[in-house]
């Protein structure tokens, strides 16, 4: 395929506080990784690279086998690194030669609808070098210094970044070759390298499962509707 999706799932999940790597925590009968993969396999066809904790690649293979269906041959599992950026780099190394567009997706955004993938792929295909899904910021924001409020921050000029983030492959490869500082997302890395980053609409369901409250929210969203 022309498109690859790197699903980063190698985080420790410390803030979730369940004592297991986050991607393998259950939402319902299925794990966070399994839910994330379901969206990926409902999105436009792509090579899929799952980046798992180095001691859980076998478990990730099992999830892939159960989720991939007819796309099984398009999927591989690689071991991640100590930071998200290292995990993305490990995934990038496994992208096939003919791929032109690379998406990087957090497994922790397990309930991201397939339409978001399609929007990002379309925007890169139409010529953008880097595309991220965003949502407006709804909270009132303050710049703070310890417990003192320094000033209000105008939220109308801010957006919350989600994943999947999409990139022209050559540009992402180049940025990773030159990467020095660690960045919390790939758009930040690209922007540091001078690339123009565009936005498309994100989705509420693409929230990142980080805290126990986020896990509760995910569980409520996938729960069967009572009859
Ligand atoms: O920690 P956080 O939730 O912000 O991580 C975002 C995503 O990056 C998660 O899906 C996590 O599994 C992944 N990650 C990774 N390797 C790391 C750290 C985070 O693949 N070393």
Q: Which tens digits make up the pLDDT trace of 178-216?
A: 777 778 889 989 898 899 999 999 999 999 999 999 999
83: CA distance to ligand 1 center in Å? 7
Reported pTM = 0.95
84: CA distance to ligand 1 center in Å? 5
Ligand 1, atom 21, lies closest to the CA of 83
Q: Which residues pair with 101 in a beta bridge?
A: 3, 168
139: CA distance to ligand 1 center in Å? 24
Query: What pLDDT shows up at residue 227?
Result: 78
Q: Could you tell me if 88 and 104 are in contact, meaning their C-beta atoms sit under 8 angstroms apart?
A: yes
φ and ψ at 183, to 5 degrees?
-120, 150
User: ipTM of this model?
Assistant: 0.97
Buried b (16+ CB within 10 A) or exposed e, 76-85: bbbebbeebb
- The superfamily (CATH) of domain 3-222 is Spore Coat Polysaccharide Biosynthesis Protein SpsA; Chain A (3.90.550.10)
Q: Which tens digits make up the pLDDT trace of 63-82?
A: 999 999 999 999 999 999 99
Average pLDDT, the chain: 94
Q: Which atom of ligand 1 is nearest to the CA of 88?
A: 20
As to burial, measured by CB atoms within 10 angstroms (0-12 exposed, 13-18 middle, 19+ buried), residue 122 is middle
Ligand 1, residues at Cβ distance < 6 Å: 8-11, 22-23, 51, 80-84, 87, 106-108, 208, 210
Q: Which tens digits make up the pLDDT trace of 4-57?
A: 999 999 998 888 888 889 999 999 999 999 999 999 999 999 999 999 999 999
């Amino acid at each position: 395929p022309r498109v690859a999706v790197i699903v980063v799932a190698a985080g420790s999940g410390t803030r979730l506080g369940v004592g297991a790597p986050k991607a393998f925590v259950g939402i319902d009968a299925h794990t966070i990784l399994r839910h994330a993969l379901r969206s990926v396999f409902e999105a436009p066809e792509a090579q899929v690279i799952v980046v798992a904790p180095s001691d859980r690649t076998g478990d990730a293979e099992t999830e892939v086998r159960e989720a991939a269906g007819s796309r099984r041959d398009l999927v591989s599992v690689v071991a991640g690194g100590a930071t998200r950026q290292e995990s993305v780099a490990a995934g990038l190394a496994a992208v096939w030669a003919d791929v032109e567009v690379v998406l990087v997706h957090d497994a922790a955004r397990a309930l991201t609808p397939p339409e978001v993938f399609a929007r990002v792929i379309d925007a890169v295909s139409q010529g953008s070098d880097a595309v991220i899904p965003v949502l407006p910021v709804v909270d009132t924001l303050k710049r703070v210094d310890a417990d003192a409020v320094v000033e209000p921050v105008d939220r109308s000029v801010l957006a919350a970044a989600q994943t999947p983030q999409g990139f022209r492959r050559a540009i992402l490869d180049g940025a990773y070759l030159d990467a020095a500082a660690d960045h919390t997302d790939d758009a930040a890395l690209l922007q540091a390298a001078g690339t123009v980053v565009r936005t498309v609409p994100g989705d509420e369901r693409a929230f990142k499962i980080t805290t126990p409250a986020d896990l509760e929210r995910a569980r409520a969203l996938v729960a069967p509707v009572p009859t």
